[in-house]
Structure 1
Amino acid sequence: MLHSIDYFVIAFYVIAIMAVGLFVASKQKKGASLFLGDKSVGFASIGMSIWGTNIGPSFLVASFGAAYGSGMLVANFEWMAWIFLLLLAMVFSPYYLGLNVPTIPQIIKRRFGDTMYRLLTIYSLCTIVVVWLGGGLYVGGLLFTQFMGWDLTLSILFLLVIATSFTVVGGLAAVIVTDAFQTILMIVGMAALTLIGLYELGGVGVLIEKTPASYWTLIDPDSPDVPWYSFLLGFPVMAVWFWCTDQTIVQRVFAAKDLPTAQKGVFLAAALKILPPFIFILPGIIFFCLNPSVANSDQAFIAMVSEYMPIGFRGLMIAVLIAALISTLDSGLNSFSTIFTLDFYQPVIRKGKEVSNKEIRFVGQMVTLAASVLAFFWAVAMGSVSANLFELLQSLIAFLAPPLSTLFLVGLFWRRVTAIGATYGFALSCVLCVTVGFFSVNEKTFGLFEAWPHFLTTTFILFVISVALTVVLSLLTKPSPDEQWLPTFKQMATQNGSNSKPIWIAWGVLALVMVSLYGGFQYLASGDGGSSAAPISAQATETTKPQVSVYRGESPNFDGWVSPEEYRDATKLDGIDAWVPQFSPVHDKADLSGHVYIKHDTEYLYFAFDITDDVLYGIDTERWLPDENPRAHELTREGFPWFGDGVEVLINAENKAGEQDGELNKGNGHSWQMVVSTHKSRLGGLQKGGLLEGEERSLKSAWDTYQAWILSGAMQAKVRIKPDLSGYTLEWRIKPNPTLEIAPGVFWSAEMPVTEMGLNLAVGDLDKPKQENWGGFHHENWWSGERDKRTWLKHWGTMRLYGDYRSEYNP
């Protein structure tokens, strides 16, 4: 994939960024502060450093993939951030600079004393490790391995050495300058990707014509992924924490030479927030128009770079990924060093004794090195243990926000809050939030309710509880001698010489720009300015959209054996041999044929397959492997669960499918695709047939969901080889909750009216090794769809679920 010119570009970037950082470090005065850049940082550096720190590699790839899969909706997280950057600039910054402290914990120390100060110091160090160091380094290393082919550990070490080299020597001053350099690189690199994509597509007009109108929407009340009320309630809680109170972001404000400089720098960061949807999100939509058939949207970024970026530009894109990681990682390292040195070493280890600048600088450098070692082992551990741990830690980030947002919004702006109320409220809130986050991510409800609400809704509820705890405990206690009231906002703004009128005018202009952007994209989403994508042809509608009605029946003996008598009350599907062939057509029913039975007993939905197959893989043949994947039988995400004889069931429970090409299932209760094999299973290994994770198994969230369903018994399957080896039978039963989610938090039940769902079925037949078909497959017949398009949601058939017996509807 990479040419020697690409390697040259990558090497040039690495040398350049290290040279810039070390040059800045060499120009610092002797004894200069590692933590605040001697409070001489200009507004441009502040703005670009904040922007660059926020753009990590996981954000870059995830936003691209989200846009590929669903369009502009993810842009809300970028274009709503300006409101909270406004709060940082105009409300919080006067306090931060007026109090003349270098860290967030020292602000709380002024207000509530030492106990709360120590507690917040520990909290801050933990969040920096989780949010900025280990998680970001692991994701960056993983992406780097995909491009470069390096070992994950080597990739992590390489990236860490770059970030640590100038951070440990130059401190915040070097971090801010290199962040500014990397911000420019990221903007230029991603703008190049956008322009090249537009050129390949044929221009903006073609983009608007080919993009489904729904892809342009920014306000979607019916979004199942992020309900509008969840975003409206939960996003502000997270945004206040992230933009206004997190040390890694706010440290740039602390380093400003004065309040006006800080406010202009934060405004610049907010203005730059206009760019990400155009250079990170829009390319994902462009690539969707160029190639709508990428199975896993998380791979869309790498696929576009590989297919469309010319020699040299591929190296530039890898440099952009490295820049995104380094700008995040160096900031995290410096913030960790700042808090540890100033809020732990000096007050605890040295017990508040006067410490020279030289000693502080030396300790800060050693802590930066130690933090980098900690980050290395943390990131490597995430790659070596179950990936569930990594996704759990990343998901729990959302639950770290309520305690700190409460502490600042209530503790700083309501004078009745006491030290006891703040301290115990914060501690109890931390315990509650982490506990709820853990159980929510693992979907543990203990039977108290059906499912946890969206994590943004949960975050808001936890915020309300945190506020209530702090308020009630404060009202029940009296102020302590350790606490003191802080000056008012007006006093702080006046004291720091803020000429706020021009900056307020600038914020007003930015607000108008944001409103105009929302109006423009909603116009495209209305269909007047965009396209609704080509409709499905009449022939496709007639030939690839079969329908089936499913009724209540008696509970079968769930043992894997299928008899017509047992399923006499089920709906029967024939003609498997005449279904849509993905590979070779079936010419002999002895080769592949059979029946499918479908019914429910109100508790389970049943699929039963009676399959005739004259050659059974692994029984009549050796267990051979395809050339395309010698790891096909591994029960991992790298394996092929469907390799061998077996069947697949695909259900779109919410029955929601656009008309755009390439839209696949989501791998959750709304839409999924799973496999039953005759010779391997998750529960039985390679010795016993049964259920396996299906597509999109490359999506970690889908893989975890499928495993949870299998292990919990929400899905079960039993397979039997016919005694005369003429085929096999299998029974597959499915619990509606949590697998048939027809709307967010709503699962199908027999009490509901007639419900329509998308449905597809497949039967695979793998005989002796053949090279004429991909993977050596002999047959793979699908109930609905077209060849190479049978997994697209718009090509699935329709299943009508009736709650009662057939006789109730057909007397």
Structure 2
Amino acid sequence: MESINSFLQPIDFIVVVIYLVVLIGIGYWVSFIKKREEGENLFLAGHSLGWSSIGLTMWGTNVGPSMLIASASIGYTTGVVAGNFGWYAFVFIFLLAMVFAPRYLGAHVQTLPEFMGKRFGQSTRNILAWYTLITILISWLALTLFAGGILVGQILNLPLWISVIILVMIAAFFTIAGGLKAIAYTNVFQMGLLIAVSLILTVVGVVKAGGPMAIFENTPSHYWNLLLPADDPNYPWLAIILGYPVMGVWFWCTDQSMVQSVLGAKNLKQGQLGANFTGWLKILDVALFIIPGITCFVLFPNLSNPDEAYMTMVTRLLPSGMIGMVMAVLIAALVSTIDSALNSLSTVFTMDIYVKKHKPDATQKQIITIGRIVTVLGAAISIVLTLAIDSIKGLNLFDIFQAILGFIAPPMAVVFLFGVLWKRTTTRAVNFTLSVGTIISIGTGIFYLWIFPKEQYTFWPHFLLLSFFIFVFLAVLTFLISLSEKEVEARPHFDYGDLGRPDRKVLWLWAALIVVMIGLYVLFNGH
């Protein structure tokens, strides 16, 4: 089958260049003309977010180019089973709304490290800063660069390492030119465009394949089951049921980027309604991101690389020019994620580690210099990590994403669940789990993915089960260490305020969502 690159016309590359130049132009306008008027609005101004903003922001943060490419890939090879990563999430979004959000908002914090600092002391906050750096480097930078490198490689027919360097250079150029403010200002428009394209791809693909029944009849029956047999080599039901919750708690309840909009809610009711809205939006994940992959399997069953499923649909089904627009929006969204991650990395290291611990009297010039050095180092480290990820054998793009996140998640999931649900949890136990537990968890991941890869060593359980086993081990350790301390260290009582009873409207909407999700699981398990 011909390469993606061979289907692109000069007009597509012209559209990409024009789109990026226009963004840079908007960036200049935002930076210089509108600077005085809107400078303050770049930050969250108090608790001002309503339910619709919260829901769309959470979903938009979760939906991105990496997800489009990876979801189409797994849809092509296994069907709707990957929909669990979208639909099963409602349980943990519910947990955020009903358990975590009341306590986060009751504690009056702006960040989750601040929350844990209030709960367990400054030492925990310091360790969390380092944990955050590792998370940003791996989950936001390296994985985004990996997906972006695959995309750019498909477009330009280049090896991954060159594609990744090109992507980092584009991000650096945007930063220098001031264009990243434009991406921030046009983010909602760009996400809307990406979602619209996915919807068009789904509709056009389904029509071209002969309709929904034709797709159903031309795919294996197991493609339409969310829960697969226990001996399934890809996603056995037990691995999903036990393993995803570890990742779900970490991602939806403890990751700053996901929880930030709930922390900015006008009040608890709006935060809980916003989380509920996210749960409803997550239902769209299967139709928008996985069905295009399944449709691609029907239309183009002989792809040599399933990771090309999304761009195969784009280049075969959309007209020239529109293909260029899709490429431009994907690249701009990737650049936005990369730069935001580099900026977060720089901020966390400079303010939470360098200034707070080592040089509290640092001048503004020293802070800026350190920030720039960390940005360059972060970019270099993330390129190396991306190439390491590329060396993983036996897993497709989606599985690589989920496996790596599965090895990051256990320590944070344990620490936040114990910190919020058990008053007896001690600082020593939490600090041990965050430090030693992270070494154990990520170390296991390194053995699983690189040193003794599952492709060659069959003694490994599924990576989701492995994530669950690590979670249970760290939970037992946290429990035992806490119990072993005869006196809980003297700390001020952590007052959440009046947690109260959820609003009736909140309860009804969550009950409705739970009924719908159970219905979907019944519907997609009878084949």
Alignment TM-score, normalising by the size of structure 1? 0.57
Counterpart-to-counterpart distance in 2, 1:13 and 1:230? 43
The CA deviation at 1:64 is: 0.8
1:429 aligned counterpart, secondary structure: helix
Find the counterpart in structure 2 of residue 579 from structure 1.
none
Cα drift, residue 425 of structure 1:
3.4
State percent identity of aligned pairs.
35
Matched with 2:440 is 432
CA distance in 1, matches of 2:205, 2:187: 27
Out of 87, 106, 124, the residue aligned to residue 132 of structure 2 is 124
Match of 2:289 among 273, 276, 280: 280
Structure 2 match to 1:668: none
Displacement of 1:379 in angstroms is 4.1
Shift of residue 382, structure 1, vs aligned partner = 4.6
Q: Following the alignment from structure 2 to structure 1, what is the Cα–Cα distance between the partners of residues 423 and 296?
A: 53
Change (3 A) 1:516 1:480: closer
SS at 2:421's partner residue? coil
- 1:519 paired with 2:522, answer yes
Q: Is the 8 A contact 1:168 1:369 kept in 2?
A: no
CA distance in 2, matches of 1:268, 1:22: 35
1:144 pairs, out of 121, 141, 152, with 152
The CA distance in 1 between the partners of 2:340 and 2:106, in whole Å, is 23
- Cα shift readout 1:739-767 (whole Å, capped 9, x = no counterpart): xxxxxxxxxxxxxxxxxxxxxxxxxxxxx
C-alpha change, 1:210 and 1:78, in structure 2 (3 Å) is: same
Describe the SS at the equivalent of 2:525: helix
Q: Do 1:341 and 1:367's aligned partners in 2 also have CA atoms closer than 8 Å?
A: yes
Q: Which residue of 1 aligns with 2:275?
A: 266
Query: Do 1:109 and 1:117's aligned partners in 2 also have CA atoms closer than 8 Å?
Result: yes
Does structure 1 residue 403 correspond to structure 2 residue 411? yes
1:183 and 2:186 matched = no
Cα distance, 1:205 vs structure 2: 3.6
Give the Å deviation of 1:481. Answer: 4.9
Cα–Cα, structure 1 residues 24 and 268, in superposed 2: closer, same or farther, change >3 Å?
farther
1:313: how far off? Answer: 2.4
Structure 1, residues 141-164: CA drift from partner, whole Å, max 9, x if none?
331232145642223321454478
Residue 429 and residue 216 in structure 1: after superposition, are their counterparts in 2 closer, same or farther (change >3 A)? Answer: same
Q: Of residues 109, 119, 127 in structure 2, which corresponds to 1:101?
A: 109
Query: Secondary structure, in 3 states, of the residue corresponding to 1:154?
Result: helix
Aligned partners of 1:45, 1:365: CA distance in 2, in Å? 32
Aligned partners of 2:38, 2:494: CA distance in 1, in Å?
Answer: 35
Does residue 1:475 correspond to 2:478, yes or no? Answer: no
Name the residue aligned to 2:44: 36
Task: Summarize the Cα distance change of 1:436–1:134 in structure 2 as closer, same or farther, 3 Å threshold.
Answer: closer
Residue 463 of structure 2 aligns with which residue?
455
Distance in 2 of aligned mates of 1:216 and 1:420: 47
Give the TM-score normalised by the residue count of structure 2.
Answer: 0.84
Instruction: Tell me which moved more, 363-372 or 48-57.
Output: 363-372
> Residue 136 of structure 1: CA displacement?
0.9
Please give the per-residue CA displacement for 1:256-297, whole angstroms capped at 9, x wherever unaligned: 343333333333322221112111110111121112122322
Spell out the pairing of 1:596-675 with structure 2 (5 A cutoff). none
CA deviation after TM superposition for structure 1 residue 219, in Å? 1.8
Is residue 2:416 matched to residue 1:416?
A: no
Aligned-residue offset at 1:479: 4.7
Q: Is the 8 A contact 2:342 2:379 kept in 1?
A: no
Superposition map of 1:156-195 within 5 A:
156-159=168-171, 161-162=173-174, 175=184, 178-195=186-203
Structure 2 match to 1:3? 9
Unaligned runs of 5+ in 2: 1-6
Distance 2:175 2:313 in 1: 27
Bigger Cα Rg: 1
Q: Does 1:230 align with 2:239?
A: yes
User: Given residue 278 of structure 1, which amino acid in structure 2 is its aligned partner?
Assistant: A
Shift of 1:198: 2.0
Deviation, structure 1 residue 184: 0.8
Residue 339 of structure 1 is matched in structure 2 by: 348
Name the SS for the 1:522 alignment partner. coil
2:515 is the counterpart of 1:509: no
> Could you tell me which of 206, 228, 240 is aligned with 2:249?
240
User: Aligned residue for 2:67?
Assistant: 59
Q: Which residue of 1 aligns with 2:308?
A: 299
Q: How does 1:301-450 map to 2 (within 5 A)?
A: 301-326=310-335, 328-340=337-349, 342-349=351-358, 351=360, 372-382=375-385, 387-388=390-391, 395-442=403-450, 444=452
Give the corresponding residue for 1:738.
none
Which residue pairs with 2:205 in the alignment? 197
- Equivalent-residue separation in structure 1 for 2:28 and 2:277 (angstroms): 26
Could you say which residue in structure 2 is the equivalent of 1:48? 56
The match for 2:3 is none
Tell me by how many angstroms 1:202 deviates.
Answer: 2.7
Q: After the TM superposition, which residues 212-223 of structure 1 pair with which residues of structure 2 at under 5 Å, given as runs?
A: 212-222=220-230, 223=232
Asked whether the equivalents of residues 58 and 261 of structure 2 are also in contact (C-alpha less than 8 Å), the reply is yes
Q: How far off is 1:239 after superposition?
A: 0.9
Pairs aligned (count) = 506
For the 8 Å contact 1:125–1:336, the answer to whether it is kept is: yes
C-alpha offsets along residues 618-660 of structure 1, whole Å, 9 cap, x if unaligned?
xxxxxxxxxxxxxxxxxxxxxxxxxxxxxxxxxxxxxxxxxxx
User: Which has the higher mean CA deviation after the structures are superposed, 407-416 or 142-151?
Assistant: 142-151
1:4–1:263 CA distance, 2 compared to 1 (3 A): farther
Select which of 156, 159, 166 maps to 1:154: 166
Taking the TM superposition and a 5 Å limit, the aligned residue runs for 1:463-612 are 463-479=471-487, 481=489, 483-488=491-496, 491-494=497-500, 500-523=503-526, 525=527
1:156 alignment partner AA: V
Per-residue deviation at 1:236? 0.4
Paired AA for residue 207 in structure 1: I
1:686-705 matches, cutoff 5 A: none
Mapped to 1, the partners of 2:507 and 2:157 lie a distance apart of 49
Q: Given the superposition, is the C-alpha separation of residues 81 and 148 from structure 1 closer, same or farther in structure 2, using an over 3 Å criterion?
A: same
Partner Cα separation in structure 2 for residue 102 and residue 56 of structure 1: 25
Rounded Cα–Cα distance in structure 1 between residues aligned with 2:503 and 2:351: 32
The answer (yes or no) to whether the contact 1:79–1:274 under 8 Å persists in 2 is: yes
Measure, in 2, the Cα distance between the counterparts of 1:255 and 1:166. 27
| Residues 1:208 and 2:220 are matched in the alignment | no
Instruction: Name the residue aligned to 1:664.
Output: none
User: What's the CA shift string for 1:177-211, capped at 9, x where partnerless?
Assistant: 54422321111011111122123223334323333
Task: Give the superposition deviation at 1:84.
Answer: 1.1
Letter in 1 for 2:233: P
Change in Cα spacing, 1:192 to 1:12, as seen in structure 2 (3 Å) is farther
Q: Which has the larger helix fraction?
A: 2
Show structure 1 runs of 5+ residues with no match. Answer: 526-811
Bigger drift between 213-222 and 367-376 goes to: 367-376
Q: Deviations over 1:572-609 (max 9, x none)?
A: xxxxxxxxxxxxxxxxxxxxxxxxxxxxxxxxxxxxxx
Query: Given residue 16 of structure 2, which amino acid in structure 1 is its aligned partner?
Result: I
Q: CA–CA distance in 1 between the matches of 2:370 and 2:10?
A: 38
The aligned amino acid for 1:473 is I
Q: Give 2:312's aligned amino acid.
A: A
Contact 1:48 1:180 in 2 (8 A): no
Once the two structures are superposed, what CA deviation does each residue of 1:655-704 show, in whole Å capped at 9, x if it has no partner? xxxxxxxxxxxxxxxxxxxxxxxxxxxxxxxxxxxxxxxxxxxxxxxxxx
CA separation of 1:141 and 1:49: change in aligned 2, threshold 3 A:
farther
